[in-house]
Amino acid sequence: MRVRFAPSPTGELHVGGARTALFNWLLARKEGGVFVLRVEDTDRERSDEAHTRAILDGLEWLGLSLDEGPFFQSQSEKRHASDARWLLDEGKAFRDFTDPKELRMHAVDLGHENTSRVARALADRMGEAESARRAEAGEPFAIRFRVPEGKTVWTDLVHGDMEFDNSDLEDLVILRSDGTPTYNMAVVSDDSAMAITHVIRGDDHLSNTPKQVLLYEALERDIPVFGHVPMILGSDGKRLSKRHAATALQAYRDAGILPEAMVNFLALLGWSPGDDREIMPLPELVEAFSMERVLRKSAVFDLDKLQWLNGRHLASKPVEELAPLVMGRLVGMGVSREEMEEREVWFQHLVELHQGRARTVGDVARMCISYVQDELHYDNLAVGAHWAKAPDLVLQQLHALRSAFEDARWEEVPLERALRGLAGELKVGSGKLIHPLRVALTGQGASPGIFEVLVLLGRERSLARIDRAIEQLRVLAGEG
């Protein structure tokens, strides 16, 4: 089995293209096949080397290793043209000397809707001898494929038996007058030369398949097995676009989505393992994947599900792998890399305590930042819930907590003993002290266990934050 992913470098690698690449890669790995990358760069005006690099980076980020390639379609234009001319020599194609405007005028005059059939009629009327003479004289012409009569049929891996009436197909141009090949000619020539056995691609290519099947037959080449996977739609049932969510893969990488979560999510867009599994690492996906379970119905892109899946993968990711990702985010937020690297074990523990509470890498970084810098921002909702309702009482409690902590050994058990002992003296539940203290230490209404927080922050930073909270509460209580 040989499969290929054939993107055009005219833009970034988008979600739909990434899903197509993944399905091809999974199939190749499941069947012990070969995964080939061919960059279809024949659109010289729109093709960009930076986009090619983005495609390669995106595949590498997803973990989709190449077996062959990248190959560039532009390097095979001589072969494309040679295949087109062979069809001409065999009488399976014809020269078209008309320009599009002239062709439309002839079609109107003859009352014919299919302009390509008019081109064929004009070519047949001209005759091969006159056609060859005009070509030898240097007159420009395109080469059109002569679509045969009858029907074109194939069995699609997703849609089953397919049938197209050839009378509905145009005599497609396969070589332009400037000598460059058109899409269908180039694809068939390349897939044949690369011995591609299975073409797995999006439903948007379904209309190209009968044309390509006919070209394979005319060229007397082996026809690959085709499989057309469902389109990806937005929540409103329309084709996925920027109005629904970001479509470029890089945007999700930048947003803190893990590659394993994106792979898991993309695999479930139009495919099912046949059971209720949703969290599936890449090796499990390879084992379970089959084209038989690819759905015909279009898949809906659900951003909430992607974030949920990311949170699950984030929670189970080894902290040694996650910590560098979080560190990179924190450095981007102005935190010193050297400080975190010097306290590597401490930093990994910090990340580990927060990774199960987040949905993205960025969430983890935002949760961790208050532990690695002195500046602290108070969440308004947390302040309203745990300080503002009774600032005088909270002020007294924080004063008492500071005194209780000042002489305690800075470890979880002694700190817990000091807080719970104070709660007993004040005849209040421990939560009445913990919630205001959490806001003082982290600025937030939620965090890991408060005693883990105290130890992570350390004595000096913890007491300094309690002191700052006391000053803030004096202002709230009208003492400032």
Please choose, from the candidates 123, 59, 133, 54, the residue with its C-alpha nearest in 3D space to the C-alpha of residue 95: 123
Measure the CA–CA gap between 15 and 39, rounded to whole angstroms.
17
Measure the CA–CA gap between 361 and 315, rounded to whole angstroms.
10
Cα-Cα-Cα-Cα torsion 381, 385, 391, 395, nearest 10 degrees, comes to: -90
Cα-Cα-Cα-Cα torsion 218, 223, 229, 232, nearest 10 degrees, comes to: -40
Task: Please report which residue ranges of 373-449 form alpha helices under DSSP H.
Answer: 380-386, 391-406, 412-426, 431-442
Measure the CA–CA gap between 181 and 81, rounded to whole angstroms.
6
Catalytic option among 92, 242, 305, 427: 242
Contacts of 299 (CB under 8 A, 6+ apart): 230, 231, 232, 233, 269, 270
242 tagged catalytic: yes
Using CA atoms, how far residue 333 sits from 327, 330, 349, 374, in Å, is: 10, 5, 20, 13
Cα-Cα-Cα-Cα torsion 302, 303, 307, 313, nearest 10 degrees, comes to: 50
CB 30 within 8 A of CB 290: yes
State which amino acid sits at residue 386: H
Token representation of residue 392: 């005088």
Please choose, from the candidates 49, 35, 46, 31, the residue with its C-alpha nearest in 3D space to the C-alpha of residue 6: 35
**Residues designated as active site:** 242
